[in-house]
Amino acid sequence: MARLLQRSWDTRWATGEEPDSPPWFHTGAAWLAGLLVAGWPHLQYIAARAVDGSDDPWGLLAFITALFFIPSQVLSEPVPSRFRWAMVILVLPLLVILPAWLVDSALLRAAGWVIAVGCLLIRAGAPPAVAGLLLMSLPVMASLDFYAGYPLRWLVSHSNALLLGILGLPVEASGVVLNWAGREVIVDAPCSGLRMLWFGGYLTLVAGALYRLRWGAMLILSICGFMLVLTGNGLRSFVLFFPESGIVHIPDAAHAGIGLVIFAGIALALIQIAGKFPQGGRI
Amino acid sequence: MTAKKYWAALITVTLLTIPGWGTASETNDQTLSPYFHVKSGESGGEDFPLQSTRVEARVSGVIADVRVVQVYQNRGTEAIEADYVFPGSTRAAVYGMEMQIGERRIVAKIKEKEEAKATYEKAKSEGKSAGLLQQHRPNVFRMSVANIMPGDTIQVELRYTELLVPEEGEYEFVYPTVVGPRYSTKTAGTAPPEENWVANPYLAEGEEDPTGFVFHLDLEAGMPVQDLRIPSHSIHPEFPSPTSARVVIKGKPDRDVVVQYRLSGKAIQTGLILHRGEGPEAENFFLLMAQPPERPASTLLPPRDYTFVLDISGSMSGFPLDTAKALLRDLIGSLKPEDTFNVLFFAGSSFVLSPQPLAAHPANIRQAIEAIDRQRGGGGTELLPALQNALKLSDGREVSRSIVVITDGYVNVEAEAFDLIRENLGQANLFSFGIGSSVNRHLIEGMARVGRGEPFVVTAPNQITPQLRKFVAYVSKPVLTGIQIETPGFQVYDVEPLTHPDLFAERPLLVYGKWKGNPGGNIHIRGVNGEGKFEKTIPVFPASTAKDNPALRYLWARARIKELGDYNQLDHNDERVREITNLGLTYNLLTPYTSFVAVDEVVRNPDGSPKHVKQPLALPKGVSNSAIGSAVGTTPEPSEWALMALVAFFLVYLVRRHRRNAHVGREA
């Protein structure tokens, strides 16, 4: 049936007849809808993790943002036939059949699906940052908290101890605990900087998508963003050591305000860096 | 992408941040933690609804039946709902609860946990007095009593039974009185509601606890009692007859009550107890306590590697850490030169004494003791990372390995710890020492159980030497391994446990189960000890059912629940959860998935919204204020909503900047 339709379409093209609008099922919108339907279990998984309290809900924001960056012509233009066959042969099995057999983790299966969707969108003209936004839509915060939370906190506490030592304060870092003059300041779970990392990453990718940065530029911008956030989080914890250890006294609201000011600095720096790269054009 | 889409996206994002405007401080990301009680300051308020606890324990042979009466009073001027978190024995089978209001006595019903909670909440909102008893851990329970009116006195009575199993010929009855403050990394926003008990108020060190406590124990051993000691309290027991004893304690609930005794001639009560149910569909139960072989006098002892894991967190500060240091000094001092060892210290993080195991030479032992003496208690109790590190420590040699964990157990990650040990232990054995007056016995016993070792509890410095001697004997000379049990001629089913771990302690083998038909035949026990194969046959006599033993129903069900769930992390869809729920409902037992609820049908508080009051708990004896950790600062990130508001602001800036640049480019 598809071959008949394809032949009819090609014949009309060969005879010089101005083709009408492509059949609805050849358009990018139809294929994207098909991919979303094929990945429905993954969408359900992502949505369920966002609302059941086991992970943060911000992934949905990243997903919606990614959809906004799909070029409008991708939706209305026909998908080339070789592309359609590639999707049928490679992508649909990748999305639906193989992962269920081979990969036990729902998160990894969902990751495979968003990568496939991202690659297709980029091939069709979307900026590379869209793939990053789709990956950020996955419910990974709980896993990142578990695996990366403690190493990040350890890094923060030891770098703080070093800096404070340079300033003449004999602070000892014991794991994630800073000891000074019989007092303790703990770099505990909410201090790891993972939230700042997520929002910093989101801003980086939106900037990259808006400026239509190429792969190389996007990679450099992402690395810069990561380093800026890590440094900023360390600086935030360093500054907050003083009120938390009792050396200075500040109002409670100023505690969060310091973190927000530092994050604002990070965001501004990211936008300035993104603006330095060549922009626009087809990727 | 059109400008309209940009603005639509930005407006959507900005709307999403509205709930976070003006709130810059973290709320749901704060970890659950105990806190110091602060007087409400309201005149007419009731801060301590639990007036007193009275415990009446009767030990008959090897079975203890315990009645606990909690008296709640409201001396304030408004209706209250009292919430009281209290401990229980890890072996307790809680089978009954009653509530008394004035002359009215209401018998509680056992229901599925959520159903019981819904019944309780409905009764509360309707202005009825109600009681709800829930289990959070095998040794942590919560009693909630709603609509205690001004001037009311409400008595709640619960009953449980447990089996006393002697070890090395000594019986021990423990009644825990206080739940120690637990360290938790679970956040208030993401932890399930049943974990909220961790966030409980505590009285500061030295602060007067107005709650009364009375403990009565009547022991009828059936054989002459000798050497009865109460190491937890300085009181003298009474002996109405050679085979009976009476202990009365009046004081404050700030430490476990521990009663230890032996029977004359170091005898222990063993044998087979049968219970025949009544009615055509009734079930019959049996309990076998079989005398183990004696510990072999000597065996060839291969070199052994020890990893000592020492808790140096805030709750260990003071007496518990001093005791733990003394214990560890003696433990390391008792090693043989061909043994190797290492020490891992943990609180908020962990560090090892040496990257490689150290030979137990005097110089290394001295170095270890100096490092141990330098430690001060402080910080959180990150048990899981410490266990992970300890389980990974190995230099690849083929030696017998023992991991020894020394802690007070004040954490709430018991199930995670059990899973971690079970999955990563390999061929090693794990022994656990609980240090303190009210240790978390569920953690201590559970770690040893899944670690194929033995638990020890040291409540006072004078117990270090006897516990150490036991440990050395256990490690070097197991009593029985490869245990198998058969019952030819005796029709049994639903036997617990299904498999028997190696026996280190001289403790009777316990087998619970059900039987049918006529009791007869034999029970064969086989195993291996240091002197070769071991076999024992116990005949089954119908006369064993002469005495009615209904407690066996509860004890069997509790044993089954223990195997299914005490030391396993269960998902709520797990088949084992359903089985535990059914056991609780069938045998009227409190479990993690079944609760007791009692409702007085008289409406006494038409308003239906009593003030919620959590009963403040005393710190366990010997535990300092640093267990609560009020003096510790933290540096949390700004709230997510505040970060999102900033991101939204910068998105607008980004879009406007991009449009301006694009406009400039077109003009150029």
Residue corresponding to tokens 């039987």: B515
pLDDT of residue B599: 96
Q: Round to whole Å and give the CA distance between B115 and B98.
A: 18
Q: Are strands B80-87 and B611-614 parallel, antiparallel or unpaired?
A: parallel
- Measured in whole angstroms, the distance separating CA B603 from the mean position of its chain's CA atoms is 37
Which residues lie below 8 Å from residue B341, measured CB to CB, with a gap of 6+? B305, B306, B307, B308, B332, B335, B357, B358, B360, B364, B368
Q: Quickly state the pLDDT bin for B30 (edges 50, 70, 90).
A: low
Give the model's pLDDT for residue B432.
Answer: 94
User: Could you tell me the end-to-end alpha-carbon distance of chain A, in angstroms, rounded to an integer?
Assistant: 34
Ranking A230-239, B184-193, B440-449, B547-556 by mean pLDDT, the lowest is B184-193
Task: Tell me what the mean pLDDT of segment B609-628 comes to.
Answer: 84
Distance CA A40, CA A29 (A): 16
Residue with tokens 């009644």: B175
Q: Cβ(B526)–Cβ(B534) under 8 Å?
A: yes
Q: What percent of chain A has pLDDT over 90?
A: 21
Q: What was the pLDDT predicted at A8?
A: 46
A234 versus B191: which is more confidently predicted? Answer: A234
DSSP state letter for B562: I
Tokens of A53: 């309290």
| pLDDT at residue B14, rounded to an integer | 45
Q: How confident is the model over B437-449, as a mean pLDDT?
A: 91
**B574 Cβ partners below 8 Å, 6+ apart?**
none
Structure tokens at B301: 């002892």
Q: If you average pLDDT over residues B442-450, what whole number do you get?
A: 91
- Does the pLDDT at position B596 exceed 90? yes
- The strand order across the sheet containing B532-539 reads B481-486, B522-529, B532-539
pLDDT at B223: 83
Instruction: Decide if B15 touches A, using CB distance below 8 A.
Output: no
Of B351, B633, B646, the CB nearest to A264: B646
Is there a contact between B464 and B327 (Cβ–Cβ < 8 Å)? yes
- HSE-up of B229 (CA within 13 Å, CB side)? 9
Residue B158 is predicted with a pLDDT of 94
Please name which of A198, A256, A263, A192 lies closest in space to residue B638, comparing C-alpha atoms. A256
Q: What is the DSSP string of A29-96?
A: HHHHHHHHHHTHHHHHHHHHHHHSSSS-THHHHHHHHHHHTS-HHHHHSBPPHHHHHHIIIIIHIIII
CA distance A157 to A178: 6
* Region label for B6, one of left (φ > 0), alpha (ψ between -120 and 50) or beta (otherwise): alpha
Tens digits of per-residue pLDDT, B233-267?
A: 999 999 999 989 999 999 888 889 999 998 876 66
Closest-CA residue of chain A to B655 = A210
| pLDDT tens digits, one per residue of B482-523 | 788 899 999 999 998 877 777 777 778 888 999 998 888 999
Question: Looking at chain B, which residue has its C-alpha nearest residue A254?
Answer: B24
Most B-contacting residue of A153, A195, A238, A258 (CB-CB within 10 A), to test interface: A195
ipTM: 0.81
Q: What is the mean pLDDT of chain B?
A: 84
Q: Is the pLDDT of residue B399 over 80?
A: no
Given an 8 Å threshold on Cβ–Cβ distance, is B24 in contact with A256?
yes
**CB count in 10 Å sphere of residue B5:** 13
SS3 B276: coil
The CA distance from B169 to B268, in Å, is 6
Q: Tokens for A282, please give them.
A: 């087809």
Of A148-157, B184-193, B265-274, which one has max mean pLDDT? A148-157
Report pLDDT for B342: 92
Per-residue pLDDT tens digits for B328-352: 888 888 888 888 999 999 887 788 8
Q: What are the φ/ψ torsions at residue A129 (nearest 5 degrees)?
A: -60, -25
Range with the largest mean pLDDT of A28-42, B199-213, B594-608: B594-608
- pLDDT class of B40 with cuts at 50, 70, 90: low
In whole angstroms, how far apart are CA B436 and each of A6, A19, A61, B344, B376? 80, 85, 50, 20, 16
State the Cα–Cα distance between residues B117 and B597, nearest whole angstrom.
8
Q: Is pLDDT of A232 > 60?
A: yes
Lowest mean pLDDT among B75-79, B318-322, B472-476, B629-633: B629-633
Both tokens of B43, joined, read 């005149």
The Cβ-side half-sphere exposure at A226, using a 13 Å CA radius, reads: 7
- Give the C-alpha separation, B553 to B287, whole Å: 10
The confidence score (pLDDT) of residue B41 equals: 54
| B134 CB burial (10 A radius; 0-12, 13-18, 19+) | buried
Mean pLDDT for all residues in chain A = 79
Mean pLDDT in residue range B512-539: 86
Residue A41 exposure: Cα atoms within 13 Å on the Cβ side: 15
What does the pLDDT average to over A122-126?
77
- pLDDT of B150 above 50: yes
**Residue A147: closest C-alpha in chain B:** B385
User: What is the average pLDDT across A40-56?
Assistant: 77
Query: How far is it between the farthest Cα atoms of chain A?
Result: 88
Write down the pLDDT at residue A231: 93
The CA distance from A111 to the nearest CA of chain B, in Å, is: 24
- d(CA B409, CA B419) in angstroms, rounded, equals 16
Quick one: pLDDT at residue B97?
Answer: 96
Q: Which helix (H) or strand (E) holds B424?
A: helix B414-424
Predicted pLDDT of residue A1:
45
| Whole-number pLDDT of residue B267 | 63
Residue A283, pLDDT score: 35
The pLDDT value recorded for residue A4 is 46
Contact: B634, A61; criterion CB under 8 Å:
no
Exposure pattern of B614-651 as b/e (b: 16+ CB <10 Å)? bbbbbbbbbbbbbbbbeebbbbbbbbbbbbbbbbbbbb
Amino acid (1-letter code) at residue B121 = E
Separation CA A140–CA A59 (nearest Å): 9
A186: nearest Cα among A263, A259, A254, A240: A240
Give, to the nearest 10 degrees, the angle between helix A58-68 and helix B3-16.
170
Q: Give the three-class secondary structure for A257.
A: helix
The more confident residue out of A128 and B395 is A128
For chain B, how big is the Rg over CA atoms in Å?
A: 28
Q: Measured between alpha carbons, how far is A150 from A154 in angstroms, rounded to an integer?
A: 6
Cα A34 to Cα A26, B4, B645: the distances in Å are 11, 26, 34
Question: Alpha helices, DSSP H only, in B29-112?
Answer: none
Find the mean pLDDT for residues B95-110.
Answer: 94
Is the pLDDT at A11 greater than 70, yes or no? Answer: no
What pLDDT was estimated at residue B7? 52
Q: Give how far Cα B295 sits from Cα of B300, B453, B579, Å.
A: 14, 16, 38
Residues in chain A: 283
Cα(A151)–Cα(A148) distance, integer angstroms: 5
Q: What's the rounded mean pLDDT across residues A131-142?
A: 88
With bands split at pLDDT 50, 70 and 90, how would you rate the model's confidence at B43?
Answer: low
> Does B573 contact A at CB distance below 8 Å?
no
B500-527 b/e with 16+ CB inside 10 Å = b?
bbbbbbbbbbbbbbbbeeebebebebeb
- Segment of A91-100, A143-152, B173-182, B277-286 carrying the highest mean pLDDT: B173-182
Question: A with B: how many residue pairs have Cβ under 8 Å apart?
Answer: 158
Q: pLDDT tens, A141-195? A: 877 877 888 888 889 999 999 999 998 888 888 888 888 776 778 887 778 888 8
Are residues B91 and B163 in contact, defined by beta-carbon separation less than 8 angstroms? yes
First-residue to last-residue Cα distance in chain B: 22
Q: What are phi and psi of B71, to 5 degrees?
A: -110, 120
- What is the pLDDT, as a whole number, of residue A123? 75
Q: Do A263 and B190 touch (CB under 8 A)?
A: no
Mark which residues 319-338 of B lie under 8 Å from A by CB.
Answer: none
For residue B189, which residues of chain A lie inside 8 Å, CB to CB? 53
| DSSP β-ladder status, B50-60 and B350-352 | unpaired
The confidence score (pLDDT) of residue B574 equals: 83
Distance CA B590, CA B606 (A): 31
Bridge partners of B137, per DSSP, are B140
Which has the minimum average pLDDT: B152-161, B538-547, B655-664? B538-547
B26 in contact with A, Cβ within 8 Å: yes
Alpha-carbon distance B568 to nearest alpha carbon in chain A (angstroms): 20
Q: What pLDDT score was predicted for residue B519?
A: 86
Give me the pLDDT at residue B65, please.
Answer: 95
Interface test with A, best of B637, B647, B663 (most A CBs within 10 A): B637
Judge: A196–B643 Cβ closer than 8 Å, yes or no: yes
* Angle of CA points B559, B565, B566, to nearest 5°: 75
Backbone angles phi, psi at B41, to 5 degrees: 80, -10
Phi, psi of B619 (to 5 degrees): -65, 140
Q: What are the backbone angles phi and psi of residue A162, rounded to the nearest 5°?
A: -65, -50
C-alpha B487 chain-centroid distance: 34
> Is pLDDT of B33 > 90?
no
The reply to whether B451 touches chain A by the CB within 8 Å rule is: no
DSSP letter at B483 equals E
The pLDDT assigned to B582 comes to 95
More confident call, B69 vs B526: B69
